[in-house]
């Protein structure tokens, strides 16, 4: 892995999707350019900003100021923070508020927040008036490297995570790395799980670089923007080749089949953040792969050791309040979006940086593996 990119001019990562191509703009302070960039894309558009209460206190004023400086009229829709807002009731509230604000098809939605807001606002944009364009302004590390890119939008069902939604690409992503300075240590660590995942699934050199440089990334040094750009370039390439997850894009779900089950089992609550669930899921994906002889025990140990050093969970007993029993977890895994004709599909590994899609995984083996892990 090369040395980190130097801070300075924004890094522009293009997402090549033909007529629906868009740019990811990465850098400190790029939020101030939001209004000018929107005006260049949609010269006469109005904007509805969708955000949550916590983000509104920290970043809404700067967002509104950038839009006002560009002569853009805006209204704001504020929802409660947290995964609990990715539900039918809040989705209805957001859709009705967009309509009440008289946002028309040539106008824009701005999703100002983390992954929850991006998914919720994006799905509302995909639905209202049969489709409005939207801009992602991700405010968490997790959303900057993962959920803001690629057009996956949606809400949760009582039966599982992200089971209701649509593919709806943004027209622009503004990833201001200065906004990450306001995150709590726990939120930042949770986002790091998605950064680390990119190395585990397809870039062993990047994972090794993270092992050596993660502390600079956490401290806000040049490693932060470098890592975000690496992840965005990687995801942009995958999305441009497999937009609707018919093949290669499924690899981005490394750790998510186990992780989503634990996250749902914890009630989509602060007991287990999404990134924490991904960290736990990645650990288990490597451990299960090692059990099957696909990868070495040394690789599984190396992944677990790195996550332990960062402070992310690697054992089920670290989930606050515990998780449901194996029967409930197997039911949740059975609702995973990658299930085909009732057969379980997991992302497994042949080593660090060598993930692959494994179809028709034996449920009995998964049940036995989970039973052991739940026992300690």
pLDDT tens across 41-91, in order? 999 999 999 999 999 999 999 999 999 999 999 999 999 999 999 999 999
- What's the pLDDT score for residue 342? 72
- What's the pLDDT score for residue 360? 83
Interatomic CA distance for residues 65 and 206, integer angstroms: 37
- 349 within 8 A of 289, measured Cβ to Cβ: yes
- What's the pLDDT score for residue 337? 67
Interatomic CA distance for residues 213 and 61, integer angstroms: 33
Do 11-182 and 185-374 come out as alike in CATH topology? no
What's the Cα-to-Cα distance from 3 to each of 200, 299, 363, rounded to whole Å? Answer: 19, 24, 44
Interatomic CA distance for residues 278 and 259, integer angstroms: 5
- N- to C-terminal Cα separation, the chain: 36
Q: Which region holds residue 6: left if phi is over 0, alpha if psi is between -120 and 50, else beta?
A: beta
3-state secondary structure string, the chain?
Answer: CCCCCCCCCCEEEEECCHHHCEEEEEECCHHHHHHHHHHHHCCCCCEEEEEEHHHHHHHHHHHHHHHHHCCCCEEEEEECCCHHHCCHHHHHHHHHHHHHCCCCCCCEEEEEECHHHHHHHHHHHHHHHHCCEEEEEECCHHHHHHHCCCCEEEEEECCEEEEEEEECCCCEEEEEHHHHHHCCHHHHHHHHHHHHHHHHHHCHHHHHHHHHHHHHHHHCCHHHHHHHHHHHHHHHHHHHHCCCCCCHHHHHHCCHHHHHHHHHHCCCCCCCCHHHHHHHHHHHHHHHHHHCCCCCHHHHHHHHHHHHHHCCCCCHHHCCCCCCCHHHHHHHHHCCCCCECCEEEEEEECCCCCEEEEEEECHHHHHHHHHHHHCC
- What's the pLDDT score for residue 63? 98
What pTM value is reported for the model? 0.92
pLDDT tens across 173-218, in order? 999 999 999 999 999 999 999 999 999 999 999 999 999 999 999 9
Helix axes 204-219, 222-241, angle to 10 degrees: 140
Q: Which residues contact 184 (CB under 8 A, 6 or more apart)?
A: none
Interatomic CA distance for residues 179 and 138, integer angstroms: 9
Show which residues are catalytic: 130, 152, 194, 235, 245, 249, 253, 256, 260, 274
- Domain extents for the chain? 11-182, 185-374
Interatomic CA distance for residues 330 and 326, integer angstroms: 6
Interatomic CA distance for residues 341 and 59, integer angstroms: 45
CATH of domain 11-182: 3.40.50.1970
Pick the CATH number of 185-374 from 1.20.1250.20, 1.20.1090.10, 3.40.50.300, 1.20.1560.10: 1.20.1090.10
Greatest alpha-carbon span in the chain: 60
What's the Cα-to-Cα distance from 57 to each of 14, 35, 62, 101, 236, rounded to whole Å? Answer: 31, 19, 10, 21, 31
Instruction: Quote the Cα angle for 144-232-288, to 5°.
Output: 90
Per-residue pLDDT tens listing for the chain (376 residues)? 444 445 568 999 999 999 999 999 999 999 999 999 999 999 999 999 999 999 999 999 999 999 999 999 999 999 999 999 999 999 999 999 999 999 999 999 999 999 999 999 999 999 999 999 999 999 999 999 999 999 999 999 988 889 999 999 999 999 999 999 999 999 999 999 999 999 999 999 999 999 999 999 999 988 999 999 999 999 999 999 999 988 899 999 999 999 999 999 999 899 999 999 999 999 999 999 999 999 999 999 999 999 999 999 999 999 999 999 999 999 999 887 667 767 899 999 999 999 999 988 999 999 999 999 999 7
**In the numeric block, which tokens belong to residue 289?**
């792969």
In our burial notation (b when 16+ CB lie closer than 10 A, e otherwise), range 281-319 reads bbbbbbbbbbeeebbeeebbebbbebbeebebbbebeeb
């Amino acid at each position: 892995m090369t040395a980190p990119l130097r801070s300075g001019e924004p890094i522009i990562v293009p997402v090549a999707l033909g007529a629906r191509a868009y740019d990811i703009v990465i850098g400190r302070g790029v939020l101030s350019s939001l209004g000018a960039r929107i005006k260049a894309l949609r010269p006469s558009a109005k904007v509805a900003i969708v955000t949550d209460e916590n983000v509104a206190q920290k970043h809404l004023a700067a967002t509104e100021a950038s839009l006002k400086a560009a002569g853009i009229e805006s209204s704001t829709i504020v929802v409660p923070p947290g995964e609990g807002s990715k539900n039918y009731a809040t989705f209805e509230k957001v859709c009705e508020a967009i309509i009440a604000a008289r946002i028309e098809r040539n106008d824009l939605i701005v999703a100002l927040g983390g992954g929850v807001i991006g998914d919720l606002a994006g799905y509302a944009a995909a639905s209202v008036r049969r489709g409005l364009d939207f801009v992602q302004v991700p405010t968490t590390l997790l959303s900057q490297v993962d959920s803001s890119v690629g057009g996956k939008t949606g809400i949760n069902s009582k039966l599982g995570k992200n089971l209701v939604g649509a593919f709806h690409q943004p027209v622009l992503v503004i990833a201001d790395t200065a906004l990450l300075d306001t995150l709590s240590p726990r939120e930042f660590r949770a986002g790091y799980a998605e950064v680390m995942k990119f190395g585990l699934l397809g870039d062993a050199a990047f994972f090794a670089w993270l092992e050596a440089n993660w502390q600079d990334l956490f401290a806000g040094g040049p490693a932060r923007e470098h890592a975000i750009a690496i992840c965005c370039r990687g995801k942009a390439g995958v999305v441009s080749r497999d937009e609707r997850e018919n093949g290669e894009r499924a690899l981005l779900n490394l750790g998510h089949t186990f992780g989503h089950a634990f996250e749902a089992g914890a009630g989509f609550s602060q007991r287990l953040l999404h990134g924490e669930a991904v960290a736990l899921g990645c650990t288990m994906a490597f451990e299960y792969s090692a059990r099957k002889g696909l990868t070495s025990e040394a690789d599984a140990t190396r992944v677990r050791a790195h996550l332990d050093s960062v402070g992310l969970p690697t054992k089920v007993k670290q989930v606050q309040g515990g998780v449901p029993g194996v029967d409930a977890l197997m039911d949740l895994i059975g609702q995973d979006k990658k299930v085909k004709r009732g057969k379980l599909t997991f992302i497994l590994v042949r080593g660090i940086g060598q993930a692959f899609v494994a179809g028709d995984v034996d449920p009995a083996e998964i049940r036995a593996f989970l039973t052991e892990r739940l026992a300690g």
